[in-house]
Structure 1
Amino acid sequence: MASALTFPLALTEFFDGLHVASVGFDLMENMRHSATQGGEVLVSDLGPRLWTFEVQVTTKHHADARKGEALARMLRQAGRPFFAYDKSAAYPAADPGGVILGSSTPTINTINSDNRRMRVQGLPAGYVLSRGDLLSFTYGLDPSRYALHEVITPVTADGSGLTPLFEVSPFIRPGAQAGAAVTFVKPFCKAVMIPGSYRPGLRRPAFTEGLSFAAIQTLR
């Protein structure tokens, strides 16, 4: 008897199997602004910045397309999140395929008090992190939460595999701790479908084309 799916839906269950024609990840702003009589623009944050993304799937044979569509339709309801990653940034820029990283097990060494900078240990000696690389880690308990960050200041690990402090975006949230495992290969976030964004594929004589949807990171 097949077991029921568990959520968040694992990468191997859904997102890995999507052959995308295009994917767009963005870190949305969540703020308001107002202007004073003197012409000064005042800006304030309203809440956490979350990753959003849109996916369009490649043209596929009908049978293959239906497999992805069935899961996507199943995810279009409350309580069914899934893990996802930016397929255009699945590896650090200086390490295509993650070959250099190999079996290394990097972890957070330090989180600076400004919650903008961190150090990572356990990398190969001389490992390079470039601006725009992504990383993820788990933090918090009951529930576990999943952080996805973008490298802002490029760094190179020293001979022991420890990086200098480097800045990431968004801010590192409360609950993140030294010792947490850091993912550089397919760094992921937990996401939910944005209601109304799903577009089913169009059936052609031999192929299905045009399946697309949008999703947003969720911290719970």
Structure 2
Amino acid sequence: MALSFPYALDFLASCLVGPDIPLALQRFDERSGASDSRFWGIQMAMPLWGATYPLYSAKGAHAREVNAKVYSLNGMSKTMLWADPYYTGPASGVRSGLGNVTVASVRQDRGAIGLSGLPVGFVLSAGDYLSIAYASGRIYFGTFAEGGVAGGAGGLGQRDLFPYLPFGIGVGDRIDLVRPHFKAMVTEFTPFASHRGKWGDSASITIMQKP
């Protein structure tokens, strides 16, 4: 059976686990300054999520399998779906009843959204992740900057998030709050090394969001 791209979440990403996952937004800003301590900055491109981390050792056969799957991404030319393996969902601990959450509204500057389809009384927290599939294969991934409590109809008024929503996302699009993910490319990879203990170790990976 031929490989399908992007790889599904449980095909490769669930194997890429290490002691720490330093997921962070990487900015592409250009800065300049003057002798009087004034500084200016301009955003050259939208921020992208990324992480560099070591991988846990694995049994030899599994280590070789992971190596092969990463090699088959052919550098940065192909992608996989990736989710933080240590993220367990909203900070409130509620994971049920979130299968039909959708975008209810989008602020004009695209820096906030309203939500519908939430369980009544659901608590959204600043720092909760979300992802939204849109435009036939693209995936937005972001974090809420403020929280709130869903009302009696399961709605929540507009809450700030970051990065801002790209064009193409609109009212009615489904929001994933349980296992938010994004499309990622591997920019650097140190493969598992084998040794006589029949284990693979010393692997590390750098991933970056593919917008």
| Partner of residue 9, structure 2 | 11
| Partner of residue 206, structure 2 | 214
Q: For residues 24-43 of structure 1, what are the structure 2 equivalents within 5 Å? A: 24-43=22-41
| Partner of residue 200, structure 1 | 191
Matched, 1:149 2:142: yes
Matched, 1:123 2:121: no
Q: CA deviation at 1:103?
A: 5.7
SS of 2:191's equivalent in the other structure is coil
5+ residue gaps, structure 2, are none
Number of aligned residue pairs: 210
Matched to 1:89, the amino acid is Y
Matched, 1:174 2:167: yes
Change (3 A) 1:149 1:78: closer
| Partner of residue 85, structure 2 | 87
Identity %: 23
* Distance (whole Å) between structure 1 residues aligned to residue 45 and residue 174 of structure 2: 26
Q: CA deviation at 1:140?
A: 2.1
Change (3 A) 1:85 1:216: same
**What are the superposed Cα offsets for residues 85-113 of structure 1, whole Å, 9 maximum, x if unpaired?**
122224111126x2xx3463101111110
Deviating more after overlay: 168-177 vs 81-90: 81-90
Change (3 A) 1:62 1:171: same
TM-score, L = length of structure 2: 0.92
5+ residue gaps, structure 1, are none
Change (3 A) 1:42 1:103: closer
Q: CA deviation at 1:39?
A: 2.6
Matched to 2:190, the amino acid is R
| Partner of residue 184, structure 1 | 177
Matched, 1:21 2:12: no
TM-score, L = length of structure 1: 0.88
Q: CA deviation at 1:78?
A: 4.5
* Distance (whole Å) between structure 2 residues aligned to residue 61 and residue 117 of structure 1: 45
Matched to 2:89, the amino acid is Y
| Partner of residue 104, structure 1 | 99
Deviating more after overlay: 78-87 vs 15-24: 15-24
Change (3 A) 1:148 1:130: same
- Residue 90 of structure 1 contacts residue 187 of structure 1 at CA under 8 Å; is this kept in 2? no
Change (3 A) 1:161 1:29: same
* Distance (whole Å) between structure 2 residues aligned to residue 5 and residue 110 of structure 1: 37
* Distance (whole Å) between structure 2 residues aligned to residue 6 and residue 79 of structure 1: 13
* Distance (whole Å) between structure 2 residues aligned to residue 181 and residue 192 of structure 1: 24
- Residue 190 of structure 2 contacts residue 202 of structure 2 at CA under 8 Å; is this kept in 1? yes
Matched to 2:183, the amino acid is K
